[in-house]
Structures are given as C-alpha cells and as structure tokens.
Amino acid sequence: MTDLGRQAQQLTLLLEPLAALMVKKIHPVRDDLTKNAACREYGRGWIEEHIRNGDLTPRIKGQQHIFSRAEIEALRAVSMQAPTVLVKENAGKRRRR
C-alpha cells in the first residue's frame, strides 16, 4: 500500500468517529445501539472484550443494554491505531496420557 493509501485510511479512521459524534448531537436516538445490534455491526467478541476491559459501559434501558455508536466508533479508531498481538500460551505442547 502506498503512503497515499495509508493516509486515506487514517483520515477515514479519524472521520468515522467525528461523523458518529455529529449524528449523536443531531439525532441522539440514532446513536443508540442495543447490545445485539452492536455485536452484529462490530463483532460479538470485540464488544464483549471491551466490556470486560471496562472500555465500553452500556446504559440500561428497561431490559436492554444500550451502547453509544459514537463511543464505539471512537474506541474502534483508537484500537485500530494500536494493534495488539495475540499469543497462544499452550502452542506446540502436547498432553501426555
């Protein structure tokens, strides 16, 4: 990928959270996502991990957990800037019987 392509990706990562914040200001109801909708859009594993880490905190509305799309987009932009490396601890080890 060229430098121009990388700059375009970085600009997109910056603008998506800003657009979500503008939607939140103009139409606050459109910013609300139920947990199921957030999981469909962003991935259940990713949402659950950030809930466990305390990065995402839902509001309770009746029986539903409601998330802010703007908050999720901002968290996604930050996490895309700092990728993590996953390491399996038991890789290559066999169980003895």
What whole-number distance in Å separates Cα of residue 85 and Cα of residue 33? 29
The sheet with strand 32-34 has its strands ordered as 32-34, 64-68, 59-61
**pLDDT tens digits for 19-77?**
777 777 777 777 889 999 999 999 999 999 999 999 998 999 999 999 998 889 888 87
DSSP class of 86: -
pTM score: 0.63
Instruction: Please give the backbone phi and psi of residue 91, each rounded to the nearest 5 degrees, phi first.
Output: -65, 130
What whole-number distance in Å separates Cα of residue 77 and Cα of residue 71? 10
Tell me if 69 sits within 8 A of 33, measured CB to CB.
yes
